[in-house]
Amino acid sequence: MLEAFNFRVILEYLPLYVQCFAATLWLSGVSLVGALLVGILACALRLSRWGIFSRLAGVYIESIRSTPLLAQLYFFYFGLPSLGIQVTEEMTGIMVLTLNSGAYLAEIIRAGIQSIAFGQIEAGISSGLNYYQRMRHIVLPQALGVTIPPLLGQAIVLVKDSALLSLISIVELTRAGQILTSERFMPAEGFLTTAVAYLIIYSSQCHLRLDAEAIDFSRSLLKTGEVIMWGFYFKQLIDTVPFFLKGLWITVTVSFPSFMCGTAIGLAWGIIRAGRGKCLRQLIGMWVNLIRGTPFLVQIFIVFFILPEAGIELEAFPAAVLSLTNLAACFICEIVAGGILAVPAGQSEAATASGLSAYQQLRYVILPQALRTILPPLVGQYVLLIKDSSVVSVIGVVDVTRVGWLTVPRIPEGLMVFGLVGILYAVICYPLIRLSNSLEKRLTIETTRL
């Protein structure tokens, strides 16, 4: 495959990639600024003493966290025209990225503020500082150091998430790969070049710390502003619920084996990453950074379209499971490695002095303590994996997102159709989010209210 890699075609399409590279940075930058503003506002409301504002902010945050970005994108893209609101694809994409990342940034900022010991605030009060002075001189300077690394991490996630905008025909990096592939029938050149471009963005940020039908579907087929038809369409939607439930079952059957296999592989990789074998540690680290630095949409295109050129033929379902398993393994690897490294070195030294072997140290001393650090983000990663499974719809897997996309031409009310899709995802994801929050609270002693 690599012997036939045509660099001349890459040079020919280089101006398009440069244009799309700039478009990706612009879309991501505008969305990030908006997400910061939304996140700060949502965090302030979430920590407010006014219960109604805190609950409203909580509903917004949990709604975003419980549903996949692709479903949110389709919800606004197909839903706004049904209300008679015409918005350009670019504005829709920026709005969705802003609202999605804003919810996560709100939680990051909230966690940073709540990490400040309450004694610090009491000391400020006893010193005669007013609310503004306490926030400016005590809380925010300390919280800033805690929140900057995850804020940069969320910025990377936002840039990768912008790849999904290609599915509504926004011309950005992933769309450039789709254009090259469709015009020249060269998926290796198209999507590998796209992956390299995303890795360039990922590397620069780290230093600071499909199918064709889905693309060509037009919103012009949707009805606009015919509210009187909602009752009729709602009845039709109720009739299609069994198909949505079948799609939900496909989502579960794709996700469950993926996170089971991903957990087993990620656990093994994480132990190696936290160990002393330099060569294996670096090899796994390179692969993990490669996967973390590219959008999942690009990864699944590579598996589905490029592996056949190397003689590996995969149907849509196994390609989806393979891609999700690899994605889960890479992120779980970092979670496990971080949990192991968080255990004080003195524990391992004491185990060695007690005559325990390396395996016994890992089983009886290291892992039991690391588990408290690993469990909350591990459950959170399962939620992200279920939401990421929505992307497999672009290669023809008939999951719940795909069922929603197929339903829109028959029931042209995007708000109802993808609202139902969001509810079905929330049914699966919300209990896991509550479990993750519960596990996290067991490690948190004090909280801060604004």
Which whole number is the average pLDDT over 138-163?
A: 83
Residue 212: the pLDDT is 38
Reported as a pLDDT band with limits 50, 70 and 90, residue 275 is confident
Range scoring the smallest mean pLDDT among 107-111, 235-239, 430-434: 235-239
State the pTM of this model.
0.81
Residue 366: the pLDDT is 85
Taking the CA atoms of 316, 317, 321 and 322 in sequence, report the sign of the dihedral they define. negative
Q: How far apart are CA 70 and CA 209, in angstroms?
A: 28
Q: CA dist 236 to 77, 83, 230, 243, 405, Å?
A: 21, 18, 10, 12, 15
Which whole number is the average pLDDT over 396-402?
A: 90
Q: Which of 218, 215, 224 lies closest to 413, judged by CA?
A: 224
> 324: which 2 tokens?
């999700």
Q: How is domain 2-441 classified at the CATH fold level?
A: MetI-like fold (1.10.3720)
Please state, for a pLDDT cut of 70, what percent of the chain lies above it.
Answer: 90
Q: Which of 87, 91, 86 lies closest to 34, judged by CA?
A: 91
Q: Residue 446 has what DSSP assignment?
A: -
Range scoring the smallest mean pLDDT among 17-31, 200-214, 260-274, 379-393: 200-214
Q: Which of 377, 372, 367, 379 lies closest to 340, judged by CA?
A: 367
Residue 219: the pLDDT is 52
Residue 443: the pLDDT is 61
Which whole number is the average pLDDT over 390-404?
A: 90
Residue 231: the pLDDT is 60
Range scoring the smallest mean pLDDT among 110-119, 280-289, 430-439: 110-119
Residue 3: the pLDDT is 54
pLDDT at residue 50 above 90? Answer: no
Q: Residue 389 has what DSSP assignment?
A: G
Reported as a pLDDT band with limits 50, 70 and 90, residue 356 is confident
Q: Are 328 and 263 in contact (CB under 8 A)?
A: yes
Residue 33: the pLDDT is 95
Which whole number is the average pLDDT over 370-393?
A: 88
Residue 446: the pLDDT is 46
Helix axes 316-341, 278-292, angle to 10 degrees: 120
pLDDT at residue 407 above 60? Answer: yes
| Long-range contacts formed by 436-440: CB under 8 A, 24+ apart | 436/376, 436/377, 436/379, 436/380, 436/383, 439/375, 439/376, 439/379, 440/376
Q: How far apart are CA 107 and CA 58, in angstroms?
A: 10
pLDDT at residue 416 above 80? Answer: yes
pLDDT at residue 44 above 80? Answer: yes
Average pLDDT, the chain: 83
Range scoring the smallest mean pLDDT among 244-253, 266-275, 339-348, 405-414: 405-414
Reported as a pLDDT band with limits 50, 70 and 90, residue 233 is low
Q: How far apart are CA 199 and CA 370, in angstroms?
A: 31
Residue 125: the pLDDT is 78
Q: Are 365 and 347 in contact (CB under 8 A)?
A: yes
Residue 392: the pLDDT is 92
Range scoring the smallest mean pLDDT among 123-137, 186-200, 305-319, 387-401: 123-137
Residue type at position 13: Y
Range scoring the smallest mean pLDDT among 139-148, 282-291, 367-376: 139-148
pLDDT at residue 216 above 60? Answer: no
Residue 206: the pLDDT is 59
Residue type at position 156: I
Which whole number is the average pLDDT over 243-268?
A: 93
Please give the residue that has the higher pLDDT: either 31 or 138: 31
